[in-house]
């Protein structure tokens, strides 16, 4: 028996394919991790100056004293392929839906310190890593290693780092990798869509670490943030914010720093995982952003987007938005973080607006008071932040799953029965999604089966159906179901007696069958359909046998096709 099961075999195949593709191309491995590394300097005459990637300049100078880390997100040109030399499709096939390659991410380490030798009196410089991978924890950890050293030694240090990254193995989902840089080895596991939701990355890594040597710096996650730290000033309102994220509502986060702004936005987006947040979001948004006019126009309703900002100017700009989270510096009330209050939007008028959640949103579900008590008790008992975050993440995961499971169950009922898939007919169609039919299933198979929360679940579903998140979820699931039907049909055809079927058929019918099967095989290969092992090869062999039974002139035409 093969010691590797099919999923592990495909993992090894992906890793080998990536390595082969990289071996003959310059900077191929570097490009699978980063698009570029930028250094932004404040020039007294020019302002923010950069030579490589000018669109990021204004986002890289927040003006905070000391060292500051944050991130931003940019659109990718329509139809643009990255510089990952053909490995993107394999990554997208195996990565979780929440970690797909769709935008550029900028990870910034900004330093501003007094320096008498500089004309302005301050040393101001940003080191920026630009990537299409949404691995915020990995790249911020990487910056903590290389940025302080770079600010001391400058270009030679950066060139050495780039050469080291060019030796890293590509990020294949499911693999555990050792990534050496500047004398430190980071051990990371690349998340896979096959991972159990809420599972421990460390446990997954232990299973797959194989012959990797022990690493002195093991990152428990490459993309998750400290949720408790991000949410601690509005823990009692977390469920309301979860509803806003689920429904794709327009939200502005006004924060005291780019760090708080970007981390809060990313944490909010992750709160509905494993459901993908399908709207746009900008962890750090400035008036220099290319979408500034598009997102701040008052001639139409606010777009479905989350914006993280720090400029007080935005309070006036976003007065017409339905949901604004105004954060200040964290304050304590005894041992507990002071919680912001929900306030009416009408009170959001002046530049000195107090912290609070300004919204008219009425919650569909009742608050889970037991969660709040558990977290507050954890603060009093000095429970570690990572433990508090794990409790939060588990709660949000279970809440999202309770909402999604009834939808998944109903969607599965729309799939044609396997016995209705026959070799000589086009696969049957998936039944259309009916909102009312789904609503009829909730009484006996609704969220109450897995959640103790009471409330207007039906109203929440109705509003969810009008959101971009439902549209994105349904499109993805429908595509996956269509591919599954295609796979089932290919497997049924493979098990059928093709040669027997051709005995009493005309040449026209046989040629038509050959062309249709060829088209299906090409489509299956192009889309990398998860067909059972050996099916495609077996069908190709059958086709060659059928073609060889035809007259020579037809064989020539078919072989050309």
The sign of the dihedral angle between the CA atoms of 334, 336, 342, 343 is positive
User: Which pTM value belongs to this model?
Assistant: 0.87
Kindly report, residue by residue over 107-147, the tens digit of the pLDDT: 999 988 887 777 777 778 899 999 999 999 999 999 999 99
Mean pLDDT over each residue of the chain, to the nearest integer: 85
Q: Distance between CA atoms of 271 and 224, rounded to whole angstroms?
A: 11
Question: 290: helix, coil or strand?
Answer: coil
Comparing CA positions, the residue from 155, 336, 166, 343 lying closest to residue 235 is 336
Q: Which residues contact 439 (CB under 8 A, 6 or more apart)?
A: 458, 461
Q: Distance between CA atoms of 158 and 488, rounded to whole angstroms?
A: 51
Q: Distance between CA atoms of 557 and 62, rounded to whole angstroms?
A: 65
Kindly report, residue by residue over 261-278, the tens digit of the pLDDT: 999 999 999 999 999 999
Instruction: Please determine, for residue 53, whether its predicted confidence score (pLDDT) is greater than 70.
Output: no
Burial class (CB in 10 A: 0-12, 13-18, 19+), 30: buried
Label the pairing between strands 305-309 and 332-333.
unpaired
The DSSP string of 346-372 is GG--STTPPSEEEE-PPPSB---HHHH
* Contact by Cβ (8 Å): 215, 197: no
Q: In Å, how far are 123, 175, 388, 417, 446 from 206, measured between CA atoms? A: 44, 11, 23, 39, 37
Most confident option among 195-199, 478-482, 519-523 = 478-482
Kindly report, residue by residue over 241-262, the tens digit of the pLDDT: 999 999 999 999 999 999 999 9
Question: 24: helix, coil or strand?
Answer: coil
């Amino acid at each position: 028996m093969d010691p590797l099961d099919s999923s592990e075999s495909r993992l090894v195949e992906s890793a080998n394919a990536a390595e082969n593709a990289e071996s003959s191309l310059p900077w191929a491995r570097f490009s699978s991790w980063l698009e570029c590394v930028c250094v932004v300097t404040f020039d007294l005459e020019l302002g923010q100056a950069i030579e490589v990637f000018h669109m990021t300049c204004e986002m890289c100078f927040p003006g905070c004293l000391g060292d500051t880390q944050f991130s931003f997100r940019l659109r990718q040109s329509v139809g643009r392929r990255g510089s990952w030399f053909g490995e993107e499709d394999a990554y997208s096939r195996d990565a979780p839906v929440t970690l797909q390659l769709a935008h550029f991410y900028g990870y910034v380490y900004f330093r501003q310190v007094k320096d008498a030798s500089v004309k302005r009196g301050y040393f101001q410089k940003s080191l920026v890593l630009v990537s299409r991978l949404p691995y915020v924890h990995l790249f911020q950890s990487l910056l903590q290693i290389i940025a302080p050293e770079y600010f001391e030694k400058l270009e030679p240090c950066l060139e050495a780092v780039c050469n080291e990254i060019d030796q890293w193995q590509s990020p294949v989902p499911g693999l555990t990798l050792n990534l050496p840089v500047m004398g430190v080895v980071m051990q990371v596991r690349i998340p896979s869509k096959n991972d159990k939701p809420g599972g421990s990355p460390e446990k997954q890594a232990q299973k797959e670490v194989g012959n990797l040597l022990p690493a002195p710096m093991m990152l428990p996650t490459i993309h998750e943030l400290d949720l408790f730290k991000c949410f601690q000033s509005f823990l009692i309102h977390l469920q309301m914010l979860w509803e806003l994220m689920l429904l794709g509502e327009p939200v502005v986060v006004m924060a005291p720093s780019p760090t708080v702004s970007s981390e809060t936005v990313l944490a909010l987006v992750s709160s509905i995982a494993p459901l993908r947040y399908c709207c746009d979001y900008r962890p750090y948004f400035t008036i220099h952003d290319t979408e500034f006019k598009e997102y701040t126009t008052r001639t139409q309703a606010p777009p479905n987007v989350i914006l993280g900002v720090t400029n007080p100017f935005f309070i006036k700009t976003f007065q017409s938005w339905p949901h604004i989270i105004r954060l200040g510096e964290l304050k304590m009330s005894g041992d507990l973080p002071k919680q912001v209050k929900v306030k009416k939007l009408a009170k959001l008028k002046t530049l000195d607006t107090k912290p609070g959640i300004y919204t008219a949103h009425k919650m569909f579900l009742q608050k889970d008071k037991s969660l709040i008590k558990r977290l507050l008790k954890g603060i009093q008992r000095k429970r570690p932040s990572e433990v508090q975050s794990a409790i939060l993440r588990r709660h949000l995961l279970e809440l999202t799953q309770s909402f999604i499971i009834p939808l998944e169950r109903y969607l599965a009922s729309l799939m044609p029965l396997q016995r209705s898939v026959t070799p000589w007919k086009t696969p049957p169609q998936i039944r259309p999604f009916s909102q009312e039919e789904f609503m009829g299933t909730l009484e006996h198979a609704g969220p109450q089966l897995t959640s103790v929360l009471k409330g207007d679940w039906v109203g929440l579903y109705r509003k969810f159906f009008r959101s971009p998140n439902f549209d994105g979820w349904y499109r993805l699931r429908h595509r996956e179901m269509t591919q599954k039907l295609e796979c089932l049909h290919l497997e049924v055809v493979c098990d059928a007696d093709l040669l027997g079927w051709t005995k009493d058929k005309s040449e026209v019918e046989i040629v038509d069958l050959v062309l249709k099967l060829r088209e299906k095989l090409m489509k299956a290969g192009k889309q990398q359909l998860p067909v059972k092992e050996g099916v495609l090869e077996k069908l190709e062999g059958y086709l060659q046998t059928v073609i060889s039974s035809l007259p020579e002139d037809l064989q020539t035409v078919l072989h050309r096709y």
